[in-house]
Structure 1
Amino acid sequence: MAVITFANTKGGAGKTTAALLLTTELLHRNYRVCVIDADPQRWFSKWYESAALMPRLSVETYVSAPTLQRIVHERRSQWDFVIVDLPGIQSPLLASAVGLSDHVLIPIQGSSMDAQGGAQVLDLLRYLDRKAGIRIPHSVVLSRVNPAITTRSMQAVQRLLHEQQISVLDTPIAERAAFREMFDLNRPLRKLESAQTGSGEKAIANAQAFVNDVMSVVTPGAAQPPAYSATRGAPVLETAA
């Protein structure tokens, strides 16, 4: 099984939307998924509590840095995927979660603030590699992209990521009404009434392609050693060279 963490220290970057799309598409493919909702806003948990019963899905909430490690180690042997949705703030959970992950996904919108929040996560990943020899696979996923227009800001973000040799998933997550409706109506994407419309079909195709990209880069691993933050304390983020 694999532990996948969604991280960006800026709120509103699209972490929970990406986590929900990945989760519901994996469920559609008959995988068993445990989501660890570490965001104090509990957006994923609120969706789950109001959604119809999904027997292959479990959601853990009210997670702290000390309990995160225990929960991940317990769940990774019981479920096909463990997905961690982190808070959109600087938090001790960040170092704990990435140290337990088989892959870290960093959603970034086409804005400088989002890029800065993603850069803090990338800085931590580089720090762990450089200082502790802990190399954690990671990728950026461009989120809330206008499907019709590539903005100058988005082009600048793409250029910056390419120059820094940062892995970016081929499929961006588009800005689509159906993705917002999942939260408004507490339903999976394929259960929305709009799923049979042209726009709904495009949203499903976008989700499928995104999850295919994730599956192509995620390699399930054996149980990880204790997270870096749990053994030495959360490192101070440095600016990547």
Structure 2
Amino acid sequence: MAVITFANTKGGAGKTTAALLLTTELLHRNYRVCVIDADPQRWFSKWYEGASLMPRLTVETYVSAPTIQKIVHERRSQWDFVIIDLPGIQSPLLASAVGLSDHVLVPIQGSSMDAQGGAQVLDLLRYLDRKAGISIPHSVVLSRVNPAITTRSMQAVQRLLSEQQIHVLDTPIAERGAFREMFDLHRPLRKLDGALTASGEKAVLNAEAFVQEVLTLVKTGVKQPPAYAQTRIMPELETAA
């Protein structure tokens, strides 16, 4: 049905958390999901190995740039969604995975370092659009956002992304204990013991809104303006914090 790739060349940007939230919410909606865990840290695979059996989920690991194309083409005909979690480093997998994607999601925290990692992904998308005529829909998702306050750095990143006409999801992924507990306990968000508490319900609502927005973008095939409409924003982002 669709291939969705999470990419940021800086580790710790929230890629795997976003990928896990999307995956488990899709499973909750009875979709069949294949995750390609291309991150050498294997955080998604480790979560999967410790989780209860999930018949509608499979996880592929130890993929490489030469093999990912074959794997994606085979899996997308067998599963409703293929979700790719890329390494948080510069990797040959980036160009291969991006070129196979129906939508690329770039998680960025409210800091200049995270923005730099996201900028490298957006640069590649811009290059493919201008030089090869390959326009790949993509969006930035703000991650690990403090739900109580908006920091000066986050405001600066949001403003600069908007000025460059880079599509940003309306739903940021908040910094919530429940999202960390998913990895600690190897459970989907809705299966956590505190899922019915006020804090747990807020986490579920956040995940629902995030996934619904992604599904709307993928199903409608919405195309976004190319990354970096005219110029790079890195010099400004580096001093935004």
* Fold match by TM threshold 0.5: yes
Q: Secondary structure of 1:60's match? A: strand
Pairing 1:214–2:234 present: no
Q: Return the alpha-carbon distance in structure 1 between the equivalents of residues 220 and 101 of structure 2.
A: 10
Aligned amino acid, residue 95 of structure 1: A
The number of residue pairs the alignment matches comes to: 224
Q: Return the alpha-carbon distance in structure 2 between the equivalents of residues 177 and 84 of structure 1.
A: 24
Query: Is contact 1:8–1:118 with CA below 8 Å preserved after alignment?
Result: yes
Q: Return the alpha-carbon distance in structure 2 between the equivalents of residues 207 and 220 of structure 1.
A: 20
Q: Secondary structure of 2:195's match? A: helix
Q: Return the alpha-carbon distance in structure 2 between the equivalents of residues 90 and 71 of structure 1.
A: 21
Structure-1-length-normalised TM-score = 0.91
Which residue number corresponds to residue 29 of structure 1? 29
Q: Secondary structure of 2:41's match? A: coil
Q: Return the alpha-carbon distance in structure 2 between the equivalents of residues 91 and 123 of structure 1.
A: 14
Aligned amino acid, residue 136 of structure 1: I
Q: Return the alpha-carbon distance in structure 2 between the equivalents of residues 194 and 152 of structure 1.
A: 32
Q: Return the alpha-carbon distance in structure 2 between the equivalents of residues 8 and 220 of structure 1.
A: 24
RMSD (CA atoms): 1.1
Deviation of residue 216 (structure 1)?
A: 1.1
Q: Secondary structure of 1:162's match? A: helix
Q: Secondary structure of 1:194's match? A: coil
Q: Return the alpha-carbon distance in structure 2 between the equivalents of residues 162 and 66 of structure 1.
A: 36
Q: Return the alpha-carbon distance in structure 1 between the equivalents of residues 179 and 114 of structure 2.
A: 19
Q: Return the alpha-carbon distance in structure 1 between the equivalents of residues 67 and 128 of structure 2.
A: 21
Which residue number corresponds to residue 181 of structure 2? 181
Aligned amino acid, residue 128 of structure 1: L
Gapped regions of structure 1 (runs ≥ 5): 222-238
Which residue number corresponds to residue 231 of structure 1? none
Which residue number corresponds to residue 165 of structure 2? 165
Give the alignment of 1:201-240 within 5 angstroms. Answer: 201-219=201-219, 240=232
Deviation of residue 240 (structure 1)?
A: 4.0
Which residue number corresponds to residue 234 of structure 1? none
Structure-2-length-normalised TM-score = 0.91
Gapped regions of structure 2 (runs ≥ 5): 222-230, 234-241
Which residue number corresponds to residue 85 of structure 2? 85
Deviation of residue 220 (structure 1)?
A: 8.0
Which residue number corresponds to residue 119 of structure 2? 119
Aligned amino acid, residue 154 of structure 1: M
Aligned amino acid, residue 56 of structure 1: R
Pairing 1:105–2:98 present: no
Which residue number corresponds to residue 137 of structure 2? 137
Query: Is contact 1:10–1:117 with CA below 8 Å preserved after alignment?
Result: yes
* Partner deviation per Cα, 1:156-183 (whole Å, 9 max, x = no partner): 0000100000000000000000000000
Aligned amino acid, residue 36 of structure 2: I
Give the alignment of 1:47-66 within 5 angstroms. Answer: 47-66=47-66
* Partner deviation per Cα, 1:65-119 (whole Å, 9 max, x = no partner): 0110000000000000000000000000000000000000000000000001001
Deviation of residue 219 (structure 1)?
A: 3.6
Q: Return the alpha-carbon distance in structure 2 between the equivalents of residues 37 and 157 of structure 1.
A: 28
Give the alignment of 1:139-154 within 5 angstroms. Answer: 139-154=139-154
Runs of 4+ with >2 A deviation: none
Q: Return the alpha-carbon distance in structure 2 between the equivalents of residues 144 and 189 of structure 1.
A: 16
What percent identity do the matched residue pairs reach?
88
Which residue number corresponds to residue 76 of structure 1? 76
Give the alignment of 1:39-50 within 5 angstroms. Answer: 39-50=39-50
Q: Return the alpha-carbon distance in structure 2 between the equivalents of residues 120 and 89 of structure 1.
A: 10
